[in-house]
Copies of this chain bind each other. A is one copy, B any other.
Amino acid sequence: MKDPERTKAAILKAAFQEVHRKGFHAASLGDILSRTALTKGALYHHFPNKDALGHALLDAIEQKIVERWLTPLQGKPDPVSALCEVISDAVNGLTVEEVELGCPLNNLAQEMSSLDEVFRIRVADVYSTWRDGIAAALADGQKRGTVAADIDPLNAAAFILASLAGCRGLAKNAKSSQLLRSCQRELTRYVQTLRG
Contacts and interface: CB of A to CB of B under 8 A. Distances in A.
Interface string A89-121: 000000000001110001101110111000010
Interface string A155-172: 110110111111101101
A111 B21 CA distance: 10
A39 to B, nearest CB: 12
B120 A175 contact: yes
Interface stretch (A58-66, A75-83, A138-146, A179-187): A179-187
A106 B172 CA distance: 11
A59 to B, nearest CB: 17
B166 A169 contact: yes
Contact of A113 (B152, B154, B172): B172
A109 B23 CA distance: 12
A42 interface: no
27 contacts: A21-B114, A23-B25, A25-B25, A100-B114, A102-B113, A106-B169, A107-B110, A109-B173, A110-B110, A113-B175, A127-B173, A127-B174, A155-B182, A158-B170, A159-B163, A159-B187, A161-B166, A161-B170, A162-B166, A162-B167, A163-B163, A163-B167, A165-B169, A165-B170, A186-B190, A189-B190, A190-B190
Say how many copies of this protein the assembly contains: 4
Nearest to A159: B186
Nearest to A102: B110
- Main secondary structure on chain A at its contact with chain B? helix
A124 interface: yes
A139 to B, nearest CB: 16
A108 to B, nearest CB: 9
A123 interface: yes
A179 B155 CA distance: 8
Contacts of A55: none
A1 interface: no
